[in-house]
A = this chain, B = another copy of it.
Amino acid sequence: MSNTPDTDNAVRAYVDGHRAAFLDELSAWLRIPSVSADPLRAADVRRSARWLRDHLAATGFPVAEIWDTPGAPAVFAEWPSGDPDALTVLVYGHHDVQPADRGDGWRTDPFEPVIENGRLYARGAADDKGQVLIHTLGLRAHLAATGRRAPAVNLKLLVEGEEESGSPHFPELLRSYAGRLACDIVIVSDTGMWSEDTPTVCTGMRGLVDCQIDLYGPDQDIHSGSFGGAVPNPATEAARLAAALHDADRRVAIPGFYDGVVELTERERELFAELPFDEADWLRTAHSRATLGEAGYSTLERIWARPTAEVNGIGGGYQGPGGKTVVPSAAQVKLSFRLVAGQEVEKIQLAVRDWAALLLPAGIRHEITFGGATRPCLTPLDHPALQSVVRAMGRAFGRKVRFTREGGSGPAADLQDVLGAPVLFLGISVPSDGWHAPNEKVELGLLMKGAETAAHLWCDLAENGR
C-alpha cells in the first residue's frame, strides 16, 4: 500500500530537504566526547545522554527518558502507533564512543566534526551516533510521506552508553526494564554493510570477551646484569602468554576455546565466496600489507564466522628513549576474544583463567580482570521481518540486497535472550569508515539512504513483519 514510487519519492524529498539540519544536529552530538572507557569522560557521557533525550523529545516521541545504570546512562524513547494491534519494534544503538586522541593519528580534532568530500569525520560518526540519528530523520520522513501522526508500528528506542566498554550493565538494564522494552522485533543499528555499491543485511555478530592480565615480578625494577637470567621477568612472561595465544597455524591455542563452535556449512561458505571480495581492496581498508589468520579459512570466514584472540595492548618495563637494562617489576596484556555461535562467555573466561594460571611460572603473581562480555548472535534467515528489512533497503538503494555477517560485537544476543524477540540488523556503515581508528568517518550519502530505509521499514513491518 505504502510501498509505491510516490512514497519513495516523498521519503527521498523529505530526507534530502532536511539534510543540512540533520548534519547540524549530528555534529552537535558528535562534539560531546562520550568516551565510556575513560572515567574522566563520565560527565561527557551523561551530557551525551541528555542531548539525545532532548533530541528524541523534540522529534516528537511522547516518552523520552534517561535510564541510569551503575555505569553510564542509557536513553529510552517510545512512540505508540495508536493501533492496538500494531507490531512493536525496539531500535537499539549506543551513544558512547571509543577513545580518540589527536596524537593517535587524527588529521583533525576527533570531537570537532569536519565535512569534506561527502564525508563527515569525527569519533562516533559511524559508530554509532550517525547510525542512531538516521532513525529520527527516517521517522520524520515516514510521518511526512505517509501523513501519519504516529508511526505505523509501536516504536521504541534504546540507546545505551557503555557499548564501547563491553556493555557491563546492559543485561541487568534489560532485565530491570523488560516490561517497558517488550517488543516483537529488535532492530540493531550498530553494524555495517558490504560497500557503497553493495547494500547488505547482516545476519549475525560475533561475541566478545576481553580481559587485562597484570603480571607482577620483582617488587621494583632490578638490574638486568646483577639479577637478569636468574629470576622471572614479568615482561618476558607477558610476551610468552600473548605468544601462546596462537599455535603455528594461528589457531587459538587455549585449551577448550573451540568447544561447541558452530562450524560454517558448505552453503554459507559458498554465499561468502560469492560476495565481490577483493583482497587487495580489503587490505587497503585494513591499512595492512598481508593477511594472516587461522589456517584453512578465507579472510571473510576468519572475520565473520571464526572465533579469534587478539592482543589489543601490551606493556611492561622501560618504554622511554634509549635503553634501560632492567628486569621490570610489572607488565600487562590486554586481550580480546571474538566468539561465534556455540561459544559461551563464562566458559571462555574460565578457559582463559586456567590457561594463564598454567602458563605462568613461580615467582610471577598475576591478576585477570575481565571487562564486559558480549554473547555471539545469529539471526534466523527465514524470519519474515528480515525480508522487510531487505525490501526497505532495496527501495532506498535501488539495488539487490545481499547477506553478510559482522565480525564486531554488540549486545544483540542480550536483546534476543532477555526480550525474547528476534534481532535484525540495519546498518549503513562501510568498512572504510574506520571504526575504533583515527579519522573515523561516515559517508553522507549512506546516512541519507539509511534514513530512507528507516522511513520505509515501519510500513513494511506493519504489513509483513509477523
The residues of A with any CB-CB pair to B shorter than 8 Å are 36-39, 98-99, 104-105, 165-166, 192, 206, 208, 210, 212, 217-233, 235-236, 238-246, 283, 286-294, 299, 302-303, 306, 308-329, 331-334, 336, 338, 361-363, 365, 371, 406-409, 431, 434-439
Tell me the bound Cα distance from A98 to B328 in angstroms.
14
A39 to B98, CA, bound (A): 34
Q: Contacts A243-B240, A435-B226 known; A314 to B331 CB distance under 8 Å?
A: yes
B228 x A308 contact (CB < 8 A): yes
Selected from B221, B239, B288, B362, the residue in CB contact (under 8 A) with A438 is B221
Known interface pairs A225-B409, A310-B224; A323-B303 also in contact (CB < 8 Å): no
Q: Give chain B residues whose Cβ lies under 8 Å from the Cβ of A217.
A: 288
- The residues of B that contact A365 with a CB separation of less than 8 Å are 289
- Copies of this protein in the complex: 2
Say which residue of B37, B302, B319 sits within 8 Å of A322 (CB atoms). Answer: B37
The winner among A104, A206, A292, A338 for most chain B CB atoms within 10 A is: A292
Most interface-central of A104, A206, A229, A408 (chain B CB within 10 A): A229
| B325 and A210 within 8 A (CB) | yes
A313–B316 touching, CB < 8 Å = yes
CB distance from A248 to the nearest CB of B (A): 10
Distance (whole angstroms) from the CB of A63 to the closest CB of chain B = 32
23 A/B residue pairs, CB under 8 Å, sorted by A: A99-B320, A99-B322, A104-B220, A104-B221, A105-B220, A218-B286, A218-B287, A221-B437, A222-B437, A223-B437, A224-B338, A228-B407, A229-B303, A229-B309, A230-B299, A231-B286, A232-B288, A235-B314, A236-B245, A236-B311, A289-B365, A315-B316, A317-B334
A407 & B363 in contact (Cβ 8 Å cutoff): no
Please judge, given known A-B contacts A317-B312, A436-B223, whether A231 and B362 are in contact too, CB under 8 Å: no
Residues of B within 8 A of A236 (CB): 242-243, 245-246, 310-311
- Residues from chain B with Cβ under 8 Å of A230 in the complex: 286, 291-293, 299, 302-303
Is there contact, CB below 8 Å, between B229 and A311? no
Most B Cβ at <10 Å: residue of A218, A224, A313: A224
Least distance between A332 CB and chain B CB atoms (Å): 7
**Secondary structure at chain A's binding surface: helix, strand, loop or mixed?**
loop
Per the bound structure, the CA–CA distance linking A328 and B437 in Å amounts to 9
- A322 contacts across to B, CB distance below 8 A: 36-38, 99, 165, 371
A288 cross-chain contacts in B, Cβ below 8 A: 217-219, 222, 227, 231-232, 363
Q: Is A362 within 8 A of B289, CB to CB? A: yes
A315 interface neighbour in B208, B228, B319, B439, Cβ under 8 Å: B319
Contact residue among B38, B228, B324, B336 (Cβ-Cβ distance under 8 Å from A98): B324
- The CA-CA distance from A147 to B444 in the complex, in Å, is 92
Chain B residues contacting A306 (CB-CB under 8 Å) are 229
Quick check: B308 and A38 within 8 Å, CB to CB?
A: no
- Residues of B contacting A328 with CB < 8 Å? 311-313
Interface centre among A244, A246, A310 (most CB of B within 10 A): A310
CB-CB < 8 A to A244: which residues of B? 243
Interface core residue of A219, A312, A320, A327 (most chain B CB under 10 Å):
A312
